[in-house]
Amino acid sequence: MSKRILVTGSYGQIGTELVGELRRRYGGENVVATGRKKPPAILKRDGPYYQLDVLNVSQLHQLLVDLDIDIVIHNASVLSAVGEKNPQLAYRTNVEGAYNVLEAARILELDQVMIPSSIAAFGPSTPKENTPNDVIMRPTTMYGVTKVFIELLGEYYTHRFDVDFRSLRYPGIISSEALPGGGTTDYAVEIFYEALKNKRYTCFLAKDTALPMMYMPDCLKATIDLIEADASRLKHRSFNVTAMSFTPEEIANEIKKYIPEFEIEYKPDYRQQIAESWPRSIDDSVAREEWGWKPEYDLPAMVKDMLDRLSKRLGIEY
Ligand code: SER
């Protein structure tokens, strides 16, 4: 594939590692990282970085034309917890940002647009266990409302204007490079830092709150596999994907196998209610059928790899 890809939200939790992986595959010059801030060194290293605010339509169009972009991966988004603190910001960033990107794809005739959705697109009336791909979606967070909108608008652009829109409903993503930015599943990343540094963690979710999760290598694989999937095979445009489901207690027990003195306590806050409105586990058979999705990491494999990587990066033995 010799396409030119532009990634928004490139210094976010997923963007940081996705840009690196895309550059390894498609060549540094072909993958343009963008964001509103000054880029971290890792993003400037192997390819271009441009300042971009997706709410600025003329700046967005100018960059897409000047850089001859074929595919946009629009990752810039306000996540669930920050979105409940500031719903107006989440609305503007997520809804207007996605609209601007889809409009740009229509007007400039881009080859493809990938915009993430989330397990947050489901709500309390959705079946909680093995949630199917096509099911009732009535989320109760602003973040979830914006994600349902993005899926529907993207699918509308596909059938109405022939824009090749694709979306993954990411579960909680666990990663060792960049921290997540204000979501409800962030505890599953924080717990590793605290386990290594302080041997204790205070979790903001209750111990039996199961949520669908995925380790970053699988997140990158899912994203790239869907981008590369043959459009003729896709009956859907928005896909459930998952790799594992666990509770805070289960991940803590897995960490204790390596750090026996690790202690966890539970002090659920406002994020508990958000978590309880989401599925506990996900059925991703549609993604498996239509584009061959298959995860590699389960809970034990993810925990071992996270501890290895983080202990190396932080210089803390365990
Ligand atoms: N990780 C996200 C969040 O917690 C879910 O999409 O907001």
Per-residue pLDDT reduced to its tens digit, 258-280: 999 999 999 999 999 999 999 99
91 & 186 share domain: no
Mean predicted confidence (pLDDT) in 248-257 = 98
Mutate to test the pocket of ligand 1, among 169, 185, 219 (most ligand atoms within 8 A of CB): 185
pLDDT at 39: 82
In a domain, 94, yes or no: yes
Residue 290 belongs to a domain? no
Residue 66 pLDDT class (50, 70, 90 cuts):
very high
* Whether the predicted pLDDT of 181 surpasses 90: no
Catalytic annotation, pick one of 143, 201, 215, 297: 143
Does the residue 287 lie in any domain? no
Ligand 1 site, CB within 6 A: 79-80, 118-120, 143, 170, 172, 183-185
Closest Cα to atom 6, ligand 1: which residue? Answer: 118
- Give residue 38's pLDDT: 85
**pLDDT > 80? residue 247:** yes
pLDDT of residue 2: 79
Q: Is residue 53 part of a domain?
A: yes
Measure the CA–CA gap between 286 and 126, rounded to whole angstroms. Answer: 17
**Smallest CA separation from ligand 1 atom 1, residue:** 172
Average pLDDT over residues 61-89: 97
Total count of domains within the chain: 2
Q: Please state the pTM of the whole predicted model.
A: 0.97
- The answer on 36 and 119 residing in a single domain is yes
Name 5's Cβ contacts closer than 8 Å, sequence gap at least 6: 22, 26, 30, 31, 32, 69, 70, 71, 72, 73
pLDDT of residue 302: 98
Tell which atom from ligand 1 comes closest to the C-alpha of 80: 7
Mutate to test the pocket of ligand 1, among 13, 78, 79, 211 (most ligand atoms within 8 A of CB): 79
Domain range enclosing 12? 5-173+215-240
Q: What is the pLDDT of residue 241?
A: 98
Question: Closest ligand 1 atom, CA of 81?
Answer: 7
120 with 203, same domain? no
**% of residues, the chain, pLDDT over 90:** 95
pLDDT at 1 over 70: no
User: Is 13 inside any structural domain?
Assistant: yes
Average pLDDT over residues 4-9: 98
Residue 41 is predicted with a pLDDT of: 81
What pLDDT score does 168 carry?
Answer: 98
Asked if the model's pLDDT at residue 129 lies above 90, the reply is: yes
Q: What average pLDDT score do residues 43-59 get?
A: 92
Residues 127 and 191 grouped into a single domain: no
Average per-residue pLDDT for the chain: 97
Active site residue 143: yes
B/e letters for 94-123, b = 16+ CB within 10 Å, e = fewer, are bbebbbbbbbbbeeeebebbbbbbbbbbbb
Range from 1-5, 17-21, 89-93, 111-115 carrying the lowest mean pLDDT: 1-5
